[in-house]
Amino acid sequence: MPDTTRYEDLQARLGYIFRDLAFLRLALTHPSVVHERESSMQTNQRLEFLGDAVLQLVLTRELYEKFPAFSEGPLTKARAKLVNRHTLAERARHLGIGQYLILSRGEDLHNGRERLSTLADTYEALLGAILLDGGFDAAREFILGQFQTAFGGLSGIPILENPKGELQELLQSGSAEAPHYQAVSAIGPDHDRVFECTVHHGGVELARGQGRSKKAAQSEAASAALAKLREKKEVST
């Protein structure tokens, strides 16, 4: 089957038509084929390297511009959440990339078309192929279109895993004093208690939080304080 026909459906799903289908074919060529065919055959590993770089750059800029109140730490964590291998593999599955992969017979027999690492790597290689075929603007448009669908247009930064650490980092960027927490109440029987904690800085209560443990209540208080501080910063800018 000619490439122009073979890849019609895939390009329709991508929303991008390749000027040179050799780039697309290369992006779909798994390294396993080298062991079965001529050793000089090119695979998608170099494109994967390129695609990873353009993905990082595009999303870094998007996060930087959309969230001016966030420091480097939260932005780095947010980007890591957006580009983890599970997310990239899921994007590849959504596009149906697996059925178009060019694999060795052994890799194909061992479910290579659904392997998480293979799909994530191929997705990055695809981004590299679009960059080479259509330029940076085409790659950027494709990436933002993909991630707008997956993450609601990046309208909110991904939830932080360590709000207490993020709050301390934010506060200590302008003061040597660390925030401190105080348990103010514990309501309910021993097996079903709800704790309330406050977080303070510079003699001022920043926020309160509740949880099934003191640690959970402190995290909620830190999250609430972060939200207030960032909202205040956005209003003042």
Domain ranges of the chain: 3-154, 163-236
Does this model's pTM top 0.85? no
pLDDT at 92: 94
Q: What superfamily would CATH give domain 3-154?
A: Ribonuclease III domain (1.10.1520.10)
Out of 62, 121, 124, 166, the active site residue is: 124
Asked if residue 118 lies in contact with residue 101, where contact means CB atoms within 8 angstroms, the answer is: yes
Most confident of 50-54, 106-110, 184-188: 50-54
Q: Is 52 a residue of the active site?
A: yes
Does 3.30.160.20 match the CATH number of domain 163-236?
yes
**Catalytic member of 48, 52, 121, 196:** 52
Q: Strand pairing of 204-211 and 180-187?
A: unpaired
What Cα–Cα distance (Å) separates residue 128 from each residue in 34, 39, 54, 131, 140?
Answer: 20, 22, 7, 5, 11
What is the model's pLDDT at position 75? 81
